[in-house]
Structure 1
Amino acid sequence: MNLHEVERDPQIGLMRERMRNFVEQHAIPRESRAHMHCPEALDEALSELRPVAQINGLYLPQLPRELGGLALTWVERSAVLEEAGRSYLAPGALNCAAPDQPNMISLLRQGTPTQQRMYLEPLAAGQLRSCFAMTEPAPGAGSDPSMLQTRAKRCRGGWLINGHKWFITGAVGAHFAIVLAQTEDGPTQFIVETKNSGYKLLRSIPAVDPYAIGGHGEIVFEECFVTDEAVLGEVGQGLRYAQERLEPARLSHCMRLIGRARRALELAQIYVNERQSFGRRLADLQQVQAMVADCHMDLHTCRLTTLDCAARMDAGLSVKTESAMAKVFVSEALYRVADRSAQLMGALGMSEDAPVAMILRELRPFRIYDGASELHRATLGRRFLSSTPGDKK
C-alpha cells in the first residue's frame, strides 16, 4: 500500500476521522501544565482517557485481536498514529506509547506463555505500566549497548543482578522492567518486578521533555534476585532482542511525532494569518511564506520516508537500514518544523500560553533517543561504504 492508497482507503479515512475527533474533543482539552514532570498526574489523565479510546474503537492499534487490539498493519498505523500524535496524551490513551508499546512487542515475540499471561495481558489491558532498562551512566551502555556494565550472575535457583541504570523512560510507577544485563553467555533480558527488594528507583530525572509517561528514572540493582523464569527469550541473545525492539520503536516514534510537529505548524499558520505587523498580515510576507513551505516539504518527506519503512515491515523485509535512515531524517526534520513554527509565532511561540514551546521541547530529544543521529550516520556510512554501490546491506 502506497501513500495514495492510504489516502484513498475508506477504512483508514474513517479511523483517522475518529482519531482526530478523539484528539480534539477529549485529549487536547485534558492537556495541562500540571502534567509537567508529574508522572502521577499524567497517569491519572491517561486512566480517564483510555475508556474513551476503547469506546471509540481506537485502543491498542498495534496488537492482534486476541489481545484486544485492532491488528492494524504498519502502513495503516502510519496514518492513525500521526493523528494520535497531535496530543501528548493520545498515544498513551491508546496504549500505543513508549516504552509499553515496544515492551509489548518484546513480550509477544520472546515471552513464554506464563510471561505473557503475567505481564503482556495486563499491560495490554492498561492495568499496569512497564519500562525498559538498558541505558547506563558513563562508562556504561548508551548509544553503544556493547558497553553494558550491569551484571547478572547465576546463583542457586536463579540470578543476581547488580548495576546502575539511568534515564529509564517510564520507570516512575512501572510494575516491572525489562532489564538488559551482561551474563557469562552474553547480554540477556530479564523481567524484574519493581517490588523486588533489590530494585531501587532513586529518582525521576528532570529532562527537557516534561510529558514523558513515567518520567525518566534512575535505578540501582543491588543483589537483585530473580528466578530462571524471569529470563525473557534466550540467555545471551539480549542485544539481538533489543535491536529487534528498537526498529519498530523508532518507526512508531516517527509516526507519532509527525503529528506533534504538524500541530505546531497548524498553530503557527493560524497565527501568521491573523497577526498584523507594519500594516500587513505576517502571512503576506514572502519570508514567512517560504518558512511555511519548508515546513510542509519537511512533513511530506517525513511521511514518505516513514511510510516506505512501514511498507517494508509489512512485507517482512529487513528495515535495519531504512529504520535508521528514517529515524535520523525524521527526528531532524520535525525539529526544524517545530523550530520554524515557534519562530513564526514570535514571543507567543516561546511562551507557555501556546503548545508550540512544549512541542519544541518534546521533539529535541528525538535526535538522541533510540540512538543518536551521529551514531546512525556512522553506522550507515560504514554499511554503504562496505557494500556494492546501489546495494543496501
Structure 2
Amino acid sequence: MKIITTIASIFLLIFTWCWVDLKIGHKRYMKQATNIKYPPRNSDMTIFTSGKILFDDFMKEVKRAQHSIHILFYIVKNDKFSKDFLKLLQSKAEEGVEVRLLVDWVGSKKISRKTIQELTKSGVHFSFSFKPKLPFLFYTIQKRNHRKITVIDGKIGYLGGFNIGKEYINQGEKLNPWRDYHLKMTGEGVRDLQEVFLSDWFYDTNEDHRGTPAYFPTLTPGSQVHQVFVTNGSDLEQSLAHMIQQANNKIIIGTPYFIPSETLFQELREALARNVSVTVIVPEKSDHALVKEASFPYFRVLLKDGAEIMQFQRGFYHSKVILIDDTICDIGTANFDKRSLFLNSEINCLVFDRTFIADAEKELAVDLAESKPLSSDALSSMNVVRSAKESLASVLSPFL
C-alpha cells in the first residue's frame, strides 16, 4: 500500500509540474508572440495534392535559384529522399547561393549531427526551431513550429501540409498514397512568406535579416486575391470561427485530426441549425494513437445534428483545407485540432478568388469520391476498450 501511495504521489507531482509549466510557459510566450493577418494581396497560385508532382516542381525551382533559398519544414526525415533534398541544398550553397534551412526540433529529430556538420561545412545556414528551454521545459517541448515555408530568390513561395520524407512521395511502408494540399505562389504574397520565415529565423538564431533589401525584390502582382495569416497559439480559433459564421450554404473541412475547441464545435452546430451543409473529411486510418478516438464524441453530436462525416479510404489524408460556400478557401499548415489552435506556430492562406476556389472544390470532390460516410451506428457500439480510449483521448486532446 505504501508503494502504491508513493507512486501515486510521484505521478501527481509530475502532473502538477507539467500543468504549472504549461500554463505559465504559455502565458510568458504569448506576451512576446505575434499573430499577423497580412493585408489582402494579389498573387498567382497553384494547388498541389500529390507529393510527387509537388516535389518535382519544388526541386526544379530550387535548382534554378540564383540568390537565396529559405526553407522551413516541420519534418525532414533521414531517408533517401530527405538525403537527396539535403544534398541539393549543399550543392546550391557551394554554388554561392545563400541557403537557410530551419526545421522543427521535435519533427526533424532524425537529422543527425553528422548531417548538420556536412550542411554547415558546405555553406548551408542551419538551425533547429523551438529547442526546449528551461525553466518551462514541458511547454517548450509541446510548443512546435508546424509551419512549412519555402521562398526562392524572394520571388517564388510554397506553403502547405507536405513535409520532407519518402512517405510524402508515396514511397512509405504504410499509409500510401499520401493526400495533402500545398500551394505554390508567385506575386505579392511571397513577400509575406519571406517575412514570416525571416522572423522565425531571427527568433531561433538571433540573426536579423528582415531589413535586407535583397530578400525583398519588387514583385509583380498576380490575379488571385488572398491573405496570409500567421498564428502562434492564439487567434486561429477566432479566425476560423469568423469564417464559419460567414457560411450561408456549405462548409467543407478536410483535416487529419478533428479535435475542435468548444467554440468551434458550437459554431459548427449553429451553422447546421441555420441549414448550412457541413461536411468533414478525415482519414479512415490514423497515423497517431488516440486521434480517432478523440474525434468520436464530436462526430456523434454532429451526425445527430445533420453533418456528414466522410472517412478517406485511399491511403492517408493529411489535408488542411476549409471551403466556405464558393467565397473562401483556407489552405495551410493548421489542423482542425487543439494543438494547432492553442500550441503550434502555423501559417495559412485565405484565398478569395473564384477560379482558385473552383479548382479547390474539384480536388475536394476527388477526396469525397474516395471516402465513405461514417454512420451514427458505427459510433454507437461501445465497449470497455473504446470507452477507455475515448476517455484517455479526451484528457490528452490538447496534446494530440
Normalising by structure 1, report the TM-score. Answer: 0.27
Higher helix share: 1
Higher relative contact order (CA 8 A, sep 6+): 2
